[in-house]
């Protein structure tokens, strides 16, 4: 019997949910606010919620550090959104507005935007800067998840 538990933070109310890993495919719902834990959209997070997601996601996390004044960031946004749709419950996609969260950008040593950072089990696996087309983005994520 598989009793492994998985933790996941709700994208709406940011409550930490815990449920059996085999329930991951059953469109899990937040125990607190009843939102779907997988909305198919990137989740906008502030500094507090970012740490919460990184430390409490039972699946890998991909973070897009961006800013509203950054042209390449804005043109990358639809790609990131499309990625969220494709990955389903395999990957958590977060967006951090570095203009609203400047201290976070400094804490995470973000030097140029967009920057993409990939995390698993609270640890950074890889990061890169620049706006990728979707196939390259997928390839980059898969490469770093499989070699780590």
Q: Which residues bind Zn ion (CB under 5 A)?
A: 10, 12-13, 15, 30, 32-33, 35
Q: How far is the CB of 6 from Zn ion (least distance, A)?
A: 16
Closer of 15 and 128 to Zn ion (Cβ): 15
Q: How far is the CB of 60 from Zn ion (least distance, A)?
A: 21
Closer of 15 and 46 to Zn ion (Cβ): 15
80 contacts 42 by C-beta, under 8 angstroms: yes
Closer of 14 and 95 to Zn ion (Cβ): 14
Q: How far is the CB of 32 from Zn ion (least distance, A)?
A: 4
Residues designated catalytic: 70, 73
Q: How far is the CB of 76 from Zn ion (least distance, A)?
A: 27
Closer of 36 and 85 to Zn ion (Cβ): 36
| d(C-alpha 77, C-alpha 59), whole Å | 22
């Amino acid at each position: 019997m598989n009793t492994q538990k998985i933790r996941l933070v709700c994208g709406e109310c940011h409550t930490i949910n815990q449920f059996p890993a085999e329930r991951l495919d059953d469109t899990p719902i937040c125990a607190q606010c009843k939102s779907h834990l997988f909305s198919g959209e990137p989740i906008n997070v502030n500094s507090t919620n970012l740490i919460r997601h990184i430390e409490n996601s039972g699946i890998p996390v991909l973070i897009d550090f961006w800013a509203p004044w950054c042209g390449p960031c804005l043109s990358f946004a639809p790609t990131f959104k499309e990625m969220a749709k494709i990955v389903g419950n395999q990957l958590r996609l977060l967006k951090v507005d570095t203009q609203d969260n400047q201290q976070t950008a400094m804490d995470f040593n973000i030097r140029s935007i967009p920057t993409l950072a990939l995390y698993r089990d609270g640890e950074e696996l890889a990061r890169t800067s620049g706006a990728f087309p979707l196939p390259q983005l997928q390839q980059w994520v898969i490469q770093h998840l499989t070699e780590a």
